Chains A and B, each alone.
Chain A
Amino acid sequence: MPKRSYSNTAMVRSLRGSEPIAYAFLAPTLLLIAFFLISPMLSGLFMSFNKTSLSGLTRFVGLRNYQFLLSEERFLSNLQLSLLYVVCNLGISLPLAYVSASLLTRKMRGTVFFRSIFLLPWIVAPVVSSLLFRSMVDPAFGPLGMLLEKITGQQHVMLAEPFWAMATIIFHSIWRSLPFMTLFLAAGMAMIPREFYEAAKVDGAGPWKQFCTLTLPLTKIHLLIVLLTITLWTLQDAETVYALTEGGPGYSTEVMALRLFKESFINFDLNRGATLGILLLLVGLAFMISYARITAKEQD
């Protein structure tokens, strides 16, 4: 191998030291991230302690913005709905994702074709898929609306009833995240050697036992990434909820991210928006920490 000899020359070894040009190459990335991503986070924290009056005067109000929200019924409902949104989305799609992933990891012809189909919900604009779902739950002619009428025996204007409106939001979100979760978990399951399962079968382990003792522990990293990604996506999802219901009827589907969206971009109350942003971040952090603790505990 003649090429190998190059890496032994003194010339190449001198390259192993620090290269100042690296900082020049990284500068645009770091400057943009520092200025437009990190620094706004800090400004957001700062803004959450201030109040700007209509005349444009800004003054420090301490924790007053937080006190207002935490004692407000509407915010407590926002928070509950956000948690409900995350828990229902994950609770339903995660088991389904494991089932579909285990079916999909079989090696056979056409998997690439199906894989590209499965990823489509993830490629489509949230506002477009929301529009398609809104037409599907239309009480007059939408297939889901008519299906519900057949089952319950009465016509429902789904997006005008709090329960069905939230159910539509969750179903839409499952449709968007399930394919992504499936493919990600399938990628993890494909790395488990087949012999493990054969050995488990010899030991008389059924499918459930195999799942608990092999699949689950061996896809832990993938599971953790999927949980984190989908949780944070769902928590910060204002786009689809706004496009589906705008938080209605009343405030019955107004999740935290949507409240933040409305307060900041429609009412232009940036201080309250920033406060909601910090609270949203804290909820996300709480989820992250609990996932990390559960995973760490299982390691013992």
Chain B
Amino acid sequence: MRLLQKWILYIPYVLFSLFVLFPFFWGLRTSLAEQFDPRLIPSHFTLRHYQTLLSRPDFFLYLRNSLAIASASILITLVISALGGYALARLRFKGKSLGGLLLILPLLPPVAILVPLISYFQRLRLYNTLSAVIIANVVFSLPLTVWMMRNFILSNPVEIEESARIDGCSRCRMLFSIVLPMVGPGLIAVALFVFINSWNTYLFAFALTSSQSLRVIPQGILAFLGTWGTYWGGLCAAGILALIPPVALFLVFQKWFIAGVFGYQLK
């Protein structure tokens, strides 16, 4: 009886999970089923839709662009947020109390800021380049990632740094050889946050580039939607492949990611 009671407690969890997971299940099932098979569990499975998708060279072009943008954005954001986060966590300077203003910036709508950015990038001769998309990714992530790094550094004991300081260690060396190795989870949380944002967003690429050769994966999916119409098998295959990288990385590193993203608002 007690065991039964214990299991009943899990019912809301299971119901909620079904609500959350059903679209994923449906996408996976559609990507593996024969076309227009209306049964929930199809009678037999096929990999044909994936073959159709992977036989298109443009899919790999989108993949390459997305990976290039994501890795450059991650690298740049990591360095800048480590520097800024360290200053906000450990250094004394005038105006430090204004640091919290960083948390207001993510509330600004990127879709509105992109409009003047188009003419900025035109003047900088960066419009229609991957660099423009990378800069947009970095800038819109920075307010949160700097704050995330600040919190991760603050949660470390300061004593080790103080003794290194007395041994004559410079601030720069201290940051890179003592502090950063201790905040590995913070670096991973920031990297994952930037990866998910840049991998998922098509707004920046849509606004700041015009060539087909610079499209990113979400734009590619929109283009497939335009040309394939209701060929759901191929479309869902593209969707499933596109969601694997962020979901896999999230599942592996979720502990640190959640601490980084949810911690920043609670501290």
Task: Provide the bound-state CA to CA distance between A129 and B136, in Å.
Answer: 23
Task: Provide the bound-state CA to CA distance between A26 and B21, in Å.
Answer: 42
| Partner of A127 from B9, B142, B202 at Cβ < 8 Å | B202
Contacts of B221 in A (CB 8 A): 125, 127-128, 131
Contacts of B109 in A (CB 8 A): 232, 235-236, 257, 277, 280-281, 284
> In the complex, what residue of chain B is closest to A140 when comparing beta carbons?
B36
Task: Provide the bound-state CA to CA distance between A87 and B172, in Å.
Answer: 49
When A and B form their complex, what is the total count of cross-chain residue pairs whose Cβ atoms lie within 8 Å?
Answer: 268
| Partner of A22 from B91, B200, B225 at Cβ < 8 Å | B91
Contacts of B107 in A (CB 8 A): 228, 232, 284, 288
B115 within 8 Å of A by Cβ?
A: yes
Q: A12 touching B113 by the CB < 8 A rule?
A: no
Q: A29 touching B83 by the CB < 8 A rule?
A: yes
Q: B166 touching A129 by the CB < 8 A rule?
A: no
Interface string of A230-243 (1 = CB under 8 A from B): 00100110110011
Q: A15 touching B92 by the CB < 8 A rule?
A: yes
Q: A124 touching B92 by the CB < 8 A rule?
A: no
B254 within 8 Å of A by Cβ?
A: yes
Q: Which of B47-55, B67-75, B182-190, B229-237 contacts A (4 or more CB under 8 A)?
A: B229-237
Chain B contact patch, size range: 35 or more
Q: A41 touching B113 by the CB < 8 A rule?
A: yes
Q: Interface size (A, Cβ < 8 Å)?
A: 90
Report B244 CB to chain A, min CB distance, Å.
10
Write 18 A-B pairs (CB below 8 A) sorted by A numbering.
A17-B92, A23-B93, A28-B80, A32-B80, A33-B143, A110-B10, A120-B250, A131-B27, A133-B23, A135-B232, A135-B235, A135-B236, A141-B37, A175-B19, A232-B109, A261-B203, A278-B112, A281-B108
B61 within 8 Å of A by Cβ?
A: no
Q: Which chain B residues (126-166) contact chain A, with CB distance < 8 Å?
A: 135-136, 138-140, 142-143, 146, 159, 162-163, 165-166
Q: Which chain A residues (35-63) contact chain B, with CB distance < 8 Å?
A: 36-37, 40-41, 43-44, 47
A132 within 8 Å of B by Cβ?
A: yes
Task: Provide the bound-state CA to CA distance between A7 and B140, in Å.
Answer: 38
Query: Residue among A120, A236, A238 with the most chain B CB within 10 A?
Result: A120
Query: Residue among B79, B196, B235, B243 with the most chain A CB within 10 A?
Result: B243
Q: A238 touching B111 by the CB < 8 A rule?
A: yes
Q: B83 touching A274 by the CB < 8 A rule?
A: no
Given that A26-B84, A36-B135, A239-B201 are contacting pairs, would A116 and B38 also be in contact in the complex, using a CB cutoff of 8 Å? Answer: no
Task: Provide the bound-state CA to CA distance between A277 and B208, in Å.
Answer: 17
Chain B interfacial positions (CB closer than 8 Å to A) = 9-10, 12-13, 16-17, 19-21, 23-24, 26-27, 30, 36-38, 40, 79-81, 83-84, 86-88, 91-94, 96, 105, 107-120, 135-136, 138-140, 142-143, 146, 159, 162-163, 165-166, 171-172, 175, 196, 199-203, 206-207, 217-218, 221-222, 225, 230, 232, 235-236, 238-239, 242-243, 246-247, 250-251, 254, 258, 262, 265-266
Interface string of A134-169 (1 = CB under 8 A from B): 111010110100100000000000000000000000
Contacts of B230 in A (CB 8 A): 138, 140
Contacts of A120 in B (CB 8 A): 20-21, 24, 247, 250
Given that A33-B139, A132-B24 are contacting pairs, would A126 and B200 also be in contact in the complex, using a CB cutoff of 8 Å? Answer: yes
Contacts of A196 in B (CB 8 A): none
Given that A40-B120, A44-B116, A140-B36 are contacting pairs, would A125 and B235 also be in contact in the complex, using a CB cutoff of 8 Å? Answer: no
Q: Which chain A residues (53-110) contact chain B, with CB distance < 8 Å?
A: 100, 103-104, 106, 108, 110
Contacts of B217 in A (CB 8 A): 125
Contacts of B247 in A (CB 8 A): 120, 123-124
Task: Provide the bound-state CA to CA distance between A44 and B251, in Å.
Answer: 39
Task: Provide the bound-state CA to CA distance between A259 and B30, in Å.
Answer: 32
